[in-house]
Amino acid sequence: MRRLDELAQALATGTTTSRSLIEASLAKIADPSGEGVRTFIKVHAEQARAMADAADLLRMHGRASTPYAGIPIALKDLFDIAGEATPAGSTVLTDAPVAKSNAPVVARMLAAGFIPVGRVNMTEFAFSGLGINPHYGTPTSPWDRASKRIPGGSSSGTAVAVADGMAAAGLGTDTGGSCRIPAAFCGIVGYKPTARRVPITGVSPLAPSLDSVGPLAPSVACCAAIDAILAGEAPASPTPARLKGLRLAVPENMVLDGMDDTVAAAFDKALSALSAAGASIETTRFPDFADLPAANAKGGFAAAEGYAWHRHLLATQGSQYDPRIRVRIARGEHMSAADYIDLLNARTRLIASFNRATAAYDGVLMPSVPIIAPRIADLDDERSYNSVNMLILRNTALGNFFDRCAISLPCHHDGEAPVGLMLMGETMGDARLFSIAAAMEAVLA
């Protein structure tokens, strides 16, 4: 994987062209021995080639819109693209009216000169962290491909496209971990911004109270650049923070439960490396975590808000849904208005309490996912599917519920199963989080 700054430099110096980058991406997508057929739901080959030729011509005349003009990216299948339907990883909406305009996040990436090479696969309607899709197939994690392991979801195709070099970076969404989980399982960086910073208009919703749009990319700097563009800000490489003296909290309750040996070993090594670099790693208990099961007992925001959006489709085309997705959405049918108001009030109360609890720290550390990617074949029965799904969503979902920014960094060594280290920052503390993550990335590398 090549970082965005490396690609931008190669384009600027003429050592590569946008057309070359696009052709390389398309070749990897089309490789019959690769994951392209399961990763991409739709490939924009001719459009991408035309855009690449235009980018090269503009750059030749000194008119490139940005340093990133001409770099290939992947778009998760739930973003509106003008003139296309937005299936959201389902077959239910394949004949839906086409989008009249690009989602603002797509428009901003296009304005920055990035070239979408296609729409990538995802969990149907984003309702799972596993990445399994019975309609379009499931792309596999790049590690131990012979065993066919899950890529993580719901931004499964984005993660695999980046990890396999089918795109330089990509956009995902994150409602409970859907950028960070696949990043962890695929060995790349995934970012969840403070949700309010990035518009979600033109993005098929899961739970608007929690939905956010974020990047998946090879590095922290790549994610920071794309995040800035998505937020309408000027991209700049984050200045690494000074680790010496930073106070980083590791929760001792809940987030370390159920860790497998591989994740535990990688997490411990990462903490040791950060401590050796001068960071103060403090184990502490966050009582607010114990209140989350009761707050979400009726199904949480995903069930309530998801059902509100899907109820008419379920009534007319419910048989076309993945049954495992349909039953999760249908939980919202039994939530009352009072249940939903109780949930809103509980979230407000818990956010305020958690803000107080973390005020003394520069960030909160935990494993992004407590287990390595399981085999797809081991998740065939509904009980395994549900239990593993809840486990892998557990840690990342904290960032969404508490309205925080959070990032997943690879913390494994080459040749090992991918493991993600998650750093959670404060609400609207995105710039600070990127600065600390950049310093951590250098140590973990």
Catalytic-role residue among 28, 76, 128, 204 = 76
Chain-centre distance for alpha carbon 111: 22
Annotated catalytic residue 154: yes
Asked if 219 is an active-site residue, the reply is: no
Please list the alpha-helical segments (H only) found in 117-219: 156-163, 180-186
Where b means 16+ CB within 10 Å and e means fewer, 297-307 reads ebbbbbbbbbb
Catalytic pick from 154, 155, 219, 408?
Answer: 154
Question: Hey, is 74 helix, strand or coil?
Answer: strand
Tokens (6 digits) for 414: 């080459």
Residue among 364, 371, 374 at smallest CA distance from 407: 364
Give the Cα separation of 22 and 374 in Å (integer). Answer: 32
Q: Is residue 203 exposed (0-12), middle (13-18) or buried (19+ Cβ within 10 Å)? A: buried
Cα dist from 337 to 4, 123, 297, 329, 341, whole Å: 46, 28, 15, 16, 6
The answer to whether the beta carbons of residues 39 and 166 sit under 8 Å apart is: yes
Give the up-direction half-sphere exposure of residue 367: CA atoms within 13 A in the CB hemisphere: 30
> Residue 144 CA to chain centroid, in angstroms?
21
Phi and psi, residue 187, nearest 5°? 75, 30
DSSP letter, residue 5: H
CB–CB of 74/117 below 8 Å?
yes
Catalytic site includes residue 178: yes
Helix then strand then coil, in percent of the chain rounded to 5, is 45, 15, 40
Of 128, 155, 156, 178, which one is the catalytic site residue?
Answer: 178
Q: Which two tokens stand for residue 335?
A: 């939530």
Token reading at 322: 């993945």
In sequence order, which ranges of 31-124 are alpha helices (DSSP H)?
36-39, 45-60, 104-111
Residue type, 108: R
**Closest by CA position to 151, among listed 311, 369, 386:** 369
Compute the radius of gyration of the chain from its Cα atoms.
Answer: 21
Please give the positions annotated as active site. 76, 154, 178
